[in-house]
Structure 1
C-alpha cells in the first residue's frame, strides 16, 4: 500500500494523545480502587489497562490515514499489549513500569549490535528522511545508543526509588522532553555531516 501524506498536527495528536490520555486517566483514578471479577485493582492498573486499547486505536487510525506503520510503532504496540496485559493479569504495576526500561534497553542493544558490525541501523531506518554521511550516522547512532541505555538505567532507578506519581510524570513528560532536546542538539552538532539536496543548491 502506498504511503499517504498526513497533516503533521494530526500525526502529533495521534502519537502524543495516548500518553497524555493515560496521564489524565491516572490522575482521575489514582486514589480509587475498582473491583472487577472479584479482584480489586488500583487506579494505576486500570489506567494502564485503558491505555492499551487507546494506543491501538491511535495506531490503527495512523495506519488507515497513512497506509503504513513504522517498525518503531509496531514494536511499541507489541510491548504495550504485552506489558499492559501482564500488568492487569497479575495486578502488578511493576510490569508496566519495566516496559519503559525494556523498550529503551532493547533500542540501545539493537543499535549497539549494529555498531559492533560497523553498521548504523539508525541510518537504515531514517536515511530517507535525513540524508547524512556515513560518519555522521555512526556518530549519531553511537550517541543515541548510549542515550537509550542511560534512559533505561534512569527508568529503573526512578520507578524503584520514587513514587508512582513521580514516575508517571517523568514517563509522560520528562523522557519525551529529554529525547527532543537530545535529538535537536545532535542534529545541530552534526550539521557538517548532513548532505544537502543538489536541487536546493541550483535554485
Structure 2
C-alpha cells in the first residue's frame, strides 16, 4: 500500500496523459502531490524532505506548464529531481562527511539486524563505491531525461519517464543489493 501511495502521483499523471492530455495530467500531478503531503502529515505526523521537494518541484514546474501552456517545464521535473538527489549525495559527502547511501541502506538493514540479532558489517569502501555509483547514475538520469525530452516526441518522453526511469532505478537497486549481498547474514 505504501508503495502505491508513493507512486500514485506518477500513476495518475500517466493515466490522465493517456486519456486526456499533458496539461490535465500536469494539473492532476500537482493536486496528487499536494494530497500526498496532506496524507503523510495526517497519517504519520510528519512529511519527509523528499516529499516536500517532489511536491515543490511539481508545483513550480507544473504551475509554469499550465500558466505558459508549455510542456517543456514539466519535462524538466525529473531532471531537476534527479540532479538534486545526485547533488545531495555529493555535497553531503564532501561537506559533511556523511555518506547518504550508507545512511539509507543501514536504516533499511537495521530491521534485519534487530530481527536476527546480528551485526551487519559492510566496509566503508563498499559504501563509498555505492555513493559514486548512485551519484553518477542520478546525474546520468537527469541528463538522459533532457535528451529524451528534446529528441523524441512527448509520448515517448512520458513512457520513458514512467517506465524507463522506474526500470533504471529498479536495476540500480538490484545492483546495489548484489554489491552488499555477501555482507548480509545468512537466514537462520
**TM-score by shorter chain over 0.5:** yes
Q: Deviations along 1:87-110, whole A, 9 cap, x unmatched?
A: 111111111001111111111122
The structure number with the bigger radius of gyration is 1
User: 2:44: which partner in 1?
Assistant: 66
User: 1:137: which partner in 2?
Assistant: 127
Q: Deviations along 1:62-118, whole A, 9 cap, x unmatched?
A: 332233332212211111111111111111111100111111111112212233345
Q: Structure 1 residues 76 and 47, CA, compared in 2 at 3 Å: closer, same or farther? A: same
Give the TM-score normalised by the residue count of structure 2. 0.83
- Structure 2: gaps spanning 5 or more residues: 111-121
Counterparts of 2:106 and 2:48 in 1: how far apart (Å)? 14
User: 1:49: which partner in 2?
Assistant: 27
**Which structure dedicates a bigger proportion of its chain to helix?**
2
Counterparts of 1:137 and 1:114 in 2: how far apart (Å)? 14
1:28 aligns with 2:19: yes
How many residues are paired up? Answer: 176
Counterparts of 2:102 and 2:65 in 1: how far apart (Å)? 34
Counterparts of 1:48 and 1:60 in 2: how far apart (Å)? 19
Shift of residue 126, structure 1, vs aligned partner: 4.6
User: 2:102: which partner in 1?
Assistant: 123
Q: Structure 1 residues 133 and 78, CA, compared in 2 at 3 Å: closer, same or farther? A: farther
- Structure 1: gaps spanning 5 or more residues: 1-9, 30-42
* 1:1-203 paired onto structure 2 within 5 Å: 10-29=1-20, 43-117=21-95, 118-130=97-109, 132-194=122-184, 196=185
Assess if the C-alpha contact under 8 Å between 2:9 and 2:33 holds in 1: yes
Assess if the C-alpha contact under 8 Å between 1:135 and 1:193 holds in 2: no
Question: CA-atom RMSD, angstroms?
Answer: 2.1
Assess if the C-alpha contact under 8 Å between 2:12 and 2:25 holds in 1: no
Give the TM-score normalised by the residue count of structure 1. 0.77
Assess if the C-alpha contact under 8 Å between 1:115 and 1:138 holds in 2: no
Assess if the C-alpha contact under 8 Å between 1:14 and 1:59 holds in 2: no
